[in-house]
């Protein structure tokens, strides 16, 4: 019997959110000089990405790589059309962000909060039970919204936990609902340690869309730990997801467990999207130049494929 195959339609345009300066550099052992970081952020912001996660207001003792959050935000010149987001782990972090804004020393458009869907990962990452984290980040969301900031809630280990294995989709959806009720306009489902597969991605995003309604922006945040990052992107595109977080050069990882590798590389993502005829507004060559700069700064090869192979050129450059 002949089977009919249909080609799923994909979004015409996708929003690419660069998280390298925060999610990336936070998890790389080297501390990059502030001036170099600012130059990299400005170059990334000029590539056409929709949003850039510039830094984190986490305790400098905990993450010395991002101890210069204030200096970076004050110094970086970011075009008005590019949304500036910062990670805020708690009320203390929000106070620092608001104080900076009050002094007129930096633009912040969005606050990103996070917690893990799995109890063990959350305890190892932030030393608190999920319920306590949920209450804490909800209070940050409420306070941020009342200050006119956009809010994104990131749910880590949404697709699997390296300590607990399977993560119940119902607990992910319950956390997402809670974040939205607190005021989050966007929810990112994050595969923090690279355990997701495309089928699982599709079922969780479809369920999240149904549970949260059409108003909430749903974002996919994939790590390439087991090489499935771009396959998961395609899975998400096929169910209509059009917002992705990625990291230049494939920078990053996760503090726990050790060895978790980086986010999908922004240039690998943009290259695939452009080959699929999906608009991103990002200049791929400029993005690859940023990845090359990041690699130079860290002084060792990064995981990005485009950095090694270059973009697809359908017309040979020389015969
Ligand atoms: Zn990440």
Q: For 5-9, 48-52, 175-179, 277-281, which range has the lowest pLDDT when averaged over its residues?
A: 5-9
Cα of 222 from ligand 1 centre, angstroms:
7
Task: Examine the pLDDT at 259 and tell me if it is beyond 90.
Answer: no
Q: According to the model, what pLDDT value does residue 132 have? A: 97
Task: Examine the pLDDT at 2 and tell me if it is beyond 90.
Answer: no
Cα of 53 from ligand 1 centre, angstroms:
11
Task: Examine the pLDDT at 260 and tell me if it is beyond 80.
Answer: no
* pLDDT bracket for residue 254 (50, 70, 90): low
User: Three-class SS of residue 190?
Assistant: strand
Q: According to the model, what pLDDT value does residue 6 have? A: 80
Mean pLDDT of 11-26: 94
- Whether 254 is catalytic is yes
Task: Examine the pLDDT at 186 and tell me if it is beyond 80.
Answer: yes
Q: According to the model, what pLDDT value does residue 94 have? A: 97
Q: Report pTM.
A: 0.95
Instruction: Give the tens place of pLDDT for each residue, 82-132.
Output: 999 999 999 999 999 999 999 999 999 999 999 999 999 999 999 999 999
Q: According to the model, what pLDDT value does residue 258 have? A: 66
33: part of which helix (H) or strand (E)? none
Mean pLDDT of 284-302: 94
Provide the percentage of residues in the chain whose pLDDT is more than 70. 96
Q: According to the model, what pLDDT value does residue 56 have? A: 96
Provide the percentage of residues in the chain whose pLDDT is more than 90. 85
Task: Examine the pLDDT at 222 and tell me if it is beyond 90.
Answer: yes
Cα of 257 from ligand 1 centre, angstroms:
13
Contacts of 240 (CB under 8 A, 6+ apart): 11, 209
Domain boundaries in the chain? 15-307
Helices (H) and strands (E) in the chain, counts: 11, 8
Q: Which residue has the higher pLDDT, 1 or 101?
A: 101
Q: Compute the distance between CA of residue 127 and CA of residue 164 in angstroms, rounded to an integer.
A: 16
Q: According to the model, what pLDDT value does residue 87 have? A: 97
Q: According to the model, what pLDDT value does residue 1 have? A: 59
Task: Examine the pLDDT at 161 and tell me if it is beyond 90.
Answer: yes
Cα of 4 from ligand 1 centre, angstroms:
38
Cα of 154 from ligand 1 centre, angstroms:
9
Backbone angles phi, psi at 265, to 5 degrees: -75, 135
Take residue 150 and report the two structure tokens written for it.
């956009």
Q: According to the model, what pLDDT value does residue 319 have? A: 58
Q: According to the model, what pLDDT value does residue 3 have? A: 75
Q: Which of 119, 123, 128, 216 is nearest to 177 (CA)?
A: 216
CATH topology (fold) of 15-307: TIM Barrel (3.20.20)
Q: According to the model, what pLDDT value does residue 30 have? A: 83
Task: Examine the pLDDT at 7 and tell me if it is beyond 70.
Answer: yes
Q: Which of 151, 161, 254, 290 is catalytic?
A: 254
Mean pLDDT of 173-196: 97
Cα of 62 from ligand 1 centre, angstroms:
17
Q: For 12-16, 97-101, 250-254, which range has the lowest pLDDT when averaged over its residues?
A: 250-254
Q: According to the model, what pLDDT value does residue 20 have? A: 94
Cα of 1 from ligand 1 centre, angstroms:
44
Task: Examine the pLDDT at 176 and tell me if it is beyond 70.
Answer: yes
**Cβ pair 194, 303 in contact under 8 A:** no
Distances in Å between the Cα of 248 and the Cα atoms of 47, 88, 191, 277 are 11, 21, 17, 21
Cα of 160 from ligand 1 centre, angstroms:
14
Task: Examine the pLDDT at 26 and tell me if it is beyond 90.
Answer: no
Q: Average model confidence (pLDDT) for the chain?
A: 94
Q: According to the model, what pLDDT value does residue 267 have? A: 98
Contacts of 33 (CB under 8 A, 6+ apart): none
Question: Residues in the chain, how many?
Answer: 319
Take residue 105 and report the two structure tokens written for it.
């020393």
Q: Compute the distance between CA of residue 311 and CA of residue 319 in angstroms, rounded to an integer.
A: 18
Cα of 273 from ligand 1 centre, angstroms:
20
């Amino acid at each position: 019997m002949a089977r009919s195959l249909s080609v799923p339609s994909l979004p015409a345009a996708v929003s690419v959110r660069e998280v390298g300066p925060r999610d990336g550099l936070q998890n790389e052992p080297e501390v990059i000089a502030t001036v170099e970081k600012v130059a990299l952020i400005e170059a990334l912001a000029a590539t056409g990405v929709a949003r850039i996660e510039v830094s984190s207001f986490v305790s400098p003792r905990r993450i010395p790589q991002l101890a210069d959050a204030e200096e970076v935000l004050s110094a970086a010149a970011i075009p008005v059309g590019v949304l500036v987001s910062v990670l805020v782990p708690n009320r203390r972090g929000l106070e620092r962000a608001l104080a900076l804004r009050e002094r007129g020393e930096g633009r912040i458009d969005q606050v990103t909060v996070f917690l893990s869907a799995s109890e063990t990962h959350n305890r190892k990452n932030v030393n608190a039970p999920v319920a306590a984290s949920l209450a804490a980040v909800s209070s940050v969301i409420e306070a941020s919204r009342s200050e006119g900031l956009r809010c994104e809630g990131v749910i880590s280990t949404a697709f699997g936990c390296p300590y607990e294995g399977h993560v119940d989709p119902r607990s992910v959806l319950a956390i997402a609902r809670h974040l939205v009720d607190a005021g989050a306009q966007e929810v990112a489902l994050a595969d923090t340690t690279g355990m997701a597969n495309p089928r699982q991605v599709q079922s969780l995003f479809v369920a999240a869309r149904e549970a949260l309604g059409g108003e909430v922006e749903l974002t996919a945040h994939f790590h390439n730990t087991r090489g499935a990052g771009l396959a998961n992107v395609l899975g998400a595109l096929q169910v209509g997801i059009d917002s992705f977080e990625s990291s230049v050069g494939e920078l990053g990882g996760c503090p726990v467990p050790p060895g978790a590798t980086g986010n999908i590389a922004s240039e690998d993502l943009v290259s695939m999207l452009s080959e699929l005829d999906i608009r991103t507004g990002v200049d791929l060559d400029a993005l690859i130049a940023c990845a090359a700069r990041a690699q130079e700064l860290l002084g060792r090869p990064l995981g990005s494929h485009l950095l090694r192979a270059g973009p697809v050129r359908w017309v040979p450059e020389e015969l």
